[in-house]
Structure 1
């Protein structure tokens, strides 16, 4: 067909000597006043004409993007390095990097970012869900893709986010482990023999996350008024230097809900005072080798206890108490369950746990609510009944 390359402000299609068709759209002029074109090559004239017409419509609407050969994998690398790494916490960066490397790149990495389709991402999420991957991880895959593509729109690589129309996987209820009252008593009886008994007492008596416990300092505790202020937490991040692959760091909560005040019982106050004395004796015994950072839960030398070591101790104590194996988080679940069973309002439980919304609390502890409802019914039993017939006579 006839070449129409030199018509500023319009689009044209022409055939090359090798038989391929080139569609081009005039998109303005450069600094030297020379016309600039956006071009794409197609096997058929029909495809070229279709792209040209669509490009002209988008150009007039102000949503046209210049064609690029950048793949989704290449864009993910750019996004991670330039937009994510300098602006987020180390743990968040690791999460994004892990998701892109293990889940997004293997299946969709070779697809050009401008050719990526909703159906491709939806298919990937469906496959991941069907393979047994946790709902939370599948949601993170979608969130990562959506966030990366949102930035691609700002960088004018694409004009729409195909992840916006992907359907989230249906969450499947995850069973939680909760100690019975007898198991609580047996566990704490056995835990008293361990040097770090106070750690387990605090987890069971406050519902704190393990990371929050390990970052807790004496300055966060008011023993006179009986409360603990949660202001920080520990996370495990990759160690770029040194022999260990990972190390623990202290950071502030991700959201404002993480900051909270937790009342504690008189018994827990007494236990903390007892631990304070024992810790002082250890500090005097170690002398200059003791690292006093004001932490509550420490090694004998005052250093921060690792989550892994605390979990190992926990599992040994479970075996000794003949309690089925579970994780440290079950102590937090047990705390919340006991509160709800005692009739504490879910909103109060939400605030004590630091949940982002009451919906999270209700969904997590839905197993308790039927019993709570039954207790409520028992309390109003008889209130709606009429007075005894004998009292009504005469």
Structure 2
């Protein structure tokens, strides 16, 4: 029997002891180096076809992956060489946590280039069935999707299957974060008067600031003469330390009017902070921040949450998260028919669709007024 030979320049094919045929040829990898690619086939023809396909891509100038990544190994590589050096510390902490606790145990052994929509859908369905909340599951998908997007850029995979996963959550607690009415906001702020975080609460409700933005305002950002407050920084916890970093997007960097109620709160707080500085003496840490501890340090975001909930309970108000407080401002902008573009700039949204989505979620009071109008019309009043 005449042994089949591969033509020169078409790689080599040999038969292994296990009966399979192994084809090998040099190709260009995504980083520009030349490495030997190995393919396998049950027959010589199958191995030959795979080699031809690889060499056709080589001729077309398409880089090819030589290393066969497991998803878990790729996630580790991505975290260390991409996320850690290019993303915020808080982003790295979140991605690392989602990877270590959930993605690697659940999907880590899957070959990166053979990960399917079904694999991901099954994994996320199992996490939801296990009782994981919507926010946590979405963070898992965000992490996986970001890692797969990078793999696509490096031409390790052809598509991002994480983007094709669909979720179905029962929103049992939707009413718990219904925006407050103006009366409820006034009751909360009246109860919060005198609290060291009072100016932050005012900025969240009146200016629609995020929690981190309110805690990241510096005195240098307050333009008393121009009656303006510039949102530039945000306070975030990343692992075991607090960071003052730039806001995430260009849209987040925004000037806002220094409303009289905000100006009054800041003026009173400036006097209070000066008293703290004198009392602390050498123990004072000069951070330049508006909202600080009694020794000048950054305030823990979770302590903001605790204070918010404590004051809410003391005021006898229904449940609302600090982020829901920001949505209260957004919802009022919608009810007052503020132009969406203006609202988008006030809230620091980078996409108008986010602002419009909030606008479309009418408050219970707005729904009541709307149906009252329907009732009046149908009754002929």
Q: TM-score over 0.5 for the alignment? A: yes
Q: What is the RMSD computed on CA atoms of the aligned residues?
A: 3.3
Q: Separation in 2 of the partners of 1:226 and 1:301? A: 28
| Paired position in structure 2 for 1:383 | none
Q: Secondary structure at the match of 1:258?
A: coil
Q: Secondary structure at the match of 1:150?
A: helix
Work out whether residues 117 and 164 of structure 2, in 8 Å CA contact, stay in contact via their aligned partners in 1. Answer: no
| Paired position in structure 2 for 1:150 | 152
Report the Cα offset of residue 136 of structure 1.
Answer: 3.5
Which of residues 322, 327, 332 is equivalent to 1:328?
322
Q: Secondary structure at the match of 1:85?
A: helix
Q: Separation in 2 of the partners of 1:78 and 1:3? A: 43
Alpha carbons of structure 1 residues 136 and 115: separation in structure 2 relative to 1, 3 Å: closer
Structure with higher Rg: it is 1
Work out whether residues 204 and 332 of structure 1, in 8 Å CA contact, stay in contact via their aligned partners in 2. Answer: yes
Report the Cα offset of residue 216 of structure 1.
Answer: 0.9
Report the Cα offset of residue 79 of structure 1.
Answer: 2.3
Report the Cα offset of residue 14 of structure 1.
Answer: 3.8
| Paired position in structure 1 for 2:189 | 188
Q: Secondary structure at the match of 2:243?
A: strand
| Paired position in structure 2 for 1:76 | 75
Report the Cα offset of residue 226 of structure 1.
Answer: 2.5
Report the Cα offset of residue 171 of structure 1.
Answer: 8.1
Work out whether residues 318 and 325 of structure 1, in 8 Å CA contact, stay in contact via their aligned partners in 2. Answer: yes
| Paired position in structure 1 for 2:347 | 353
- CA deviations 1:294-350 (Å, max 9, x no partner) are 211112222221111121111111111111232211221112222222232222111
Report the Cα offset of residue 355 of structure 1.
Answer: 0.6
| Paired position in structure 2 for 1:107 | 106
- CA deviations 1:20-68 (Å, max 9, x no partner) are 2223244379xxxxx9853334445564344334334434433363543
| Paired position in structure 1 for 2:204 | 203
Alpha carbons of structure 1 residues 148 and 126: separation in structure 2 relative to 1, 3 Å: farther
- Structure 2: stretches of 5+ with no match in the other structure: 29-33, 374-381
Report the Cα offset of residue 178 of structure 1.
Answer: 1.2
Q: Are 2:297 and 1:303 aligned? A: yes
- Greater fraction of residues in helix: 2
- Structure 1: stretches of 5+ with no match in the other structure: 30-34, 239-245, 379-394
- CA deviations 1:162-214 (Å, max 9, x no partner) are 31695253687974431122211211121114333222222222111111111
**TM-score of the two chains, using structure 2 as the length reference:** 0.81
Aligned positions of 1:110-149 closer than 5 A: 110-117=109-116, 119-121=118-120, 123-124=122-123, 133-134=133-134, 136-137=138-139, 139-149=141-151
Aligned positions of 1:312-323 closer than 5 A: 312-323=306-317
Matched positions, count: 357
Q: Are 2:158 and 1:161 aligned? A: yes
